[in-house]
Each structure stands twice: as C-alpha cells, then as structure tokens.
A and B are shown apart, each in its own frame.
Chain A
Amino acid sequence: MSTLFKAYVVAAYVVWKLSSLYISGEESPFAPPFAVAAGYMLSIVVLSFEAAVQIGKKQSEAAVRTLVFVVIGVIFLSISFQAGPILNEITILADVLINGLVLFYILSVRRSQKKRALTFWIWGCLINLIREIGLVLCNYWTPPMGNIESNFGRTDFWGLFYCFPLSSFMEINWLGYLLAGVLYVAGVILIIQERREREQFKTSPNTAMFVALGFLVSIILMGISFMRLGHAELLPALAINPVVMYFCFVGFRQFKSLAFIFLALAAILTVVRIIAVDLLDQYHNRIHDGTIYTTEQWLVELMSLGGILAIVFWGAGIISIIQRIRVRRT
C-alpha cells in the first residue's frame, strides 16, 4: 500500500504538469485540481505515519527512505501554487545544504582515511559552497541598499559590501563550477578504481595532471559553447555527464551499489535539463513571437525541479559511497 503512495508522490505532480500543457492560457496556471492536492496531503500523512512507525521499530534506513518521499511530496505540494520563484530559492538552498552536508560527512570520514577521492570531493564541495554563498551576497542587496548609483565608488566597508562586484566574479563563478564538476567526476573514478583493485591500488602520479587537463578541456568547451551556441553550460555538461554515466554504469555492474544509480540519475537529469533549456531558449527567442505562454512557464518549472532533484540524487550518491567506505573500515 505504501508503495502506491510513494509512486503517487513521485508521478502525480509530473503527470498533472504534463497533462496541463494543453490547458489554454486563460486558466490559472498555478492552481492544481483539488484531487491532486488532496492525494498529496493524504500520501504525506500516510507516509509520515509509516516513517514514525519505522523509527519506532529502529529501522532507520527504511525510515529515511520513506521520509525522502514525504519531503518530495511536501515540495511538490508547496510549489504547485507559485513554483518559479520558490524553485529558484530552493535550488540555491538545496545546493548550499547538500554541499554542506556532504562536506561534513567527508570531513568526518577523512579523519580516519586519507583517500585522494575524498580530497577531491572536499575541494569540490568547498568551491560550490563559496560559489553559491558568493552569488547570494552579490545579488542579495536589492535597492535601496543594493547596486544603486549612489553606492558606486564608495570606498568604505559597507560600500564594498553593498556593491559586491558581480561582473568581476562572474567568470570566476563559472570556472569554479567547471572545476567542481571535474573534481567530483575525478573522485568517482578514483573510488571505482580503488574498489576494483582493492589492496593493489596506488594513486597514479598522473591523477592531478588529468584533473587539470579535464578542467582545461572544460574551459575550452565552455568558451566554444558560449561563443558559438550562446550557452556556456551546454558543451561542458555534455562532456562531463556522459563520463559520469559511463563510470556509474561500470561501477554498478561490478558492485551493485545503489550509490551509482543515484549518481547516474543526477547526471541524466542534468543533461536532460541543460538540453531542454537550450531547446526552449532557441524556440522562445528564434521561432515564436516572444510571448511567454504558461506551457513554457511549466517547462521552466520542471527544469528547475529537475535541477533540484539532480542535486539531491548527487548528494545521496556521494553520501552512500562515503557510508560504504566508513562501514568497510569499521
């Protein structure tokens, strides 16, 4: 019975959104039918109860799995009414929270195990945290405190704080994004190699060079992608994510670990989202008359949602891998 509720939580929102694509723009785009919302409320109540029972029986893993569905249900229910701005806020929050959580986990494991993969992930998480918090600081101060004319040229501390130079840091933000991606992938590859070779494993002297080469290739792809296709993210994402998918496929075939499925799902969602953003941009700016239709709005919401799910899957994948490392050690 609970499987039915879990399936409803995952599928109903997406099915409702997709079926609503054909509703005319006159109708309100945000209000879901009462039946859909009521189904979500019922599912959340039932699954919360089940999670509480599982916690009572000390089945912590099953309880966490059930709570994940409760959280997904709450997210879907709350964003159904005004999705766009909330989703943007959630994406930033999810990125900060999950990177922070993963960083905490990795740091606690690294005390006992000095693995290169963990070092790569620590740097990746740190870079992502700095990027996200820095971007919030750059955008946070809206007028009258923010980047308004009277604040330009101020040399005191608060002037600097209110006029954080976003344009100077935009390229560094993007370079950080690419470097973090390359470091995550390098970590995944190293972990798979290490588990495959077990005791014989020794970090290759070429590892750091390959990471730097991967970063170099990503920058070149980003430049080509931005100058030729107008999207900085497209080509690097199409290069990095298939590599993750391939190694996750190899890892899952050999170790049958759920962590690799999570990581592969994150990579697939990222690729689909980025291609969809590009196609929608091409369609919106080149093909039709420039009016924003509700269908487009919903697609953008779905893409944001895909982005959040990708972050959650990525975090779940890395944490599962770390937990396995910790269990094997103890």
Chain B
Amino acid sequence: MLAWIDFSTPRLFSAKSAVLFLVLCFLAYLISPRSPLEKKERDRLVLVYPPLIFVYVLFFQVFLLSLNPSVHYYLSPPRAFAWTMNIGICCAFGIAFSIRIIRTPGNGWRIYGVISILLFLLLLLGGMAPPAMST
C-alpha cells in the first residue's frame, strides 16, 4: 500500500470547512422565519438536524470514514487544525439547532434538546483532541 506523508503548510480551514459551513447555513435558512416552509413544518424539521449532524461527525470526523476505496485517511499534524475547525463548525450548528428545539413547546422536546446540547458539548470538549494518527 502507498503511504503519502503530508508535509503541507498547516491551514486553519479546508475546502470541506467551507462546504460544511455553507450547507449548515442552508439548513439554518430552512428553519428560519424567511424559509418558505410553514411554522409547524419548520418545528418538525429541526428535530432531525441534531442526529443528522451527530452521525455526520461520528462517521466522517471521528471514524475518518473514507468512501473512496483506494484512499485511507490519516490525520496528519498539518491538517489537525482544519479537522478541529470542522468539528467546531458542526458542533456550533448542532448546539444552535438544539437550542431551537428547546424553544419548541412540549416537555419531551425540551428534554431532547437538552440531551442534544450535552452530546454536542461532549463531542466538542471531549473530542477536540485529534484521533490517533496512523497510516
């Protein structure tokens, strides 16, 4: 197997950070008052956002799942900053969406929102250290 040692200049952002930010902003727009969706529909849609972001972070940031069979990722020191930034972007939006859920009427949804916030905080504070680097 070929291994490519990464000697690139460390960067704070990557192309993925920009795409993630844009996609999450679009998701936020969909549940904002400017969205073409009705209020009830927006309230229901936001319920799915936290698990969606959590699963994404788990698969592609924590497990570093590579869907290209010929490429296996490893987290090199120069890329650790961008990785941290990507986790930060996902968790920030995850927490914001969870706060939006807390504002939904009903105790069940409030508990669900609080649990989501705790999960993202755990991910943000506990998961900030990059996973073990290996080829």
Contact = CB atoms under 8 A, between A and B. Distances in A.
A219 B52 contact: yes
22 contacts: A152-B8, A165-B14, A168-B16, A171-B59, A172-B16, A174-B67, A207-B41, A208-B30, A208-B41, A209-B41, A209-B44, A209-B45, A213-B48, A215-B52, A216-B48, A216-B51, A216-B52, A216-B55, A223-B55, A223-B59, A223-B63, A230-B69
- The 9 A-B pairs at the shortest CB distance, nearest first, are namely A212-B48, A209-B44, A205-B40, A208-B45, A205-B41, A168-B16, A170-B68, A168-B15, A174-B67
Given A205-B41, A227-B65, A232-B67, A168 B60 contact: no
B37 interface: yes
A171 B9 CA distance: 23
Interface in B23-50: 30, 37-38, 40-42, 44-45, 47-49
Classify the interface of chain A: helix, strand, loop or mixed. helix
Contacts of A208: 30, 37, 41-42, 44-45
Contacts of A152: 8
Nearest to B71: A167
Q: For A152, A168, A207, which residue has the most chain B Cβ atoms within 10 angstroms?
A: A168
Contacts of B45: 208-209, 212
B44 A205 contact: yes
A153 interface: yes
Nearest to B48: A212
Given A205-B41, A223-B55, A169 B71 contact: no
A186 to B, nearest CB: 13
A12 B19 CA distance: 47
A230 B66 CA distance: 11
A171 B60 contact: yes
Given A219-B55, A223-B55, A170 B66 contact: yes
Classify the interface of chain B: helix, strand, loop or mixed. helix
Given A172-B16, A205-B40, A209-B44, A167 B66 contact: yes
B56 interface: yes
Interface residues of B, number: 31
B65 A223 contact: yes
A150 interface: no
Nearest to B20: A172
Given A165-B15, A227-B65, A230-B69, 18 more contacts: A153-B8, A153-B9, A167-B68, A167-B71, A167-B73, A170-B67, A170-B68, A172-B19, A205-B41, A208-B37, A208-B42, A209-B41, A212-B52, A215-B52, A216-B51, A219-B59, A223-B55, A223-B63
A209 B47 contact: yes
Interface of B: 8-9, 14-16, 19, 30, 37-38, 40-42, 44-45, 47-49, 51-52, 55-56, 59-60, 63, 65-69, 71, 73
Interface of A: 152-153, 165-175, 205-209, 212-213, 215-216, 219-220, 223, 226-227, 230, 232
Contacts of A223: 55, 59, 63, 65
A220 B49 CA distance: 14
Contacts of A173: 67
Contacts of B56: 175, 219
B97 to A, nearest CB: 11
Q: For B19, B41, B42, which residue has the most chain A Cβ atoms within 10 angstroms?
A: B41
Given A205-B41, A209-B44, A219-B59, A170 B71 contact: yes
A207 B67 CA distance: 29
Contacts of B15: 165, 168-169
Contacts of A232: 67
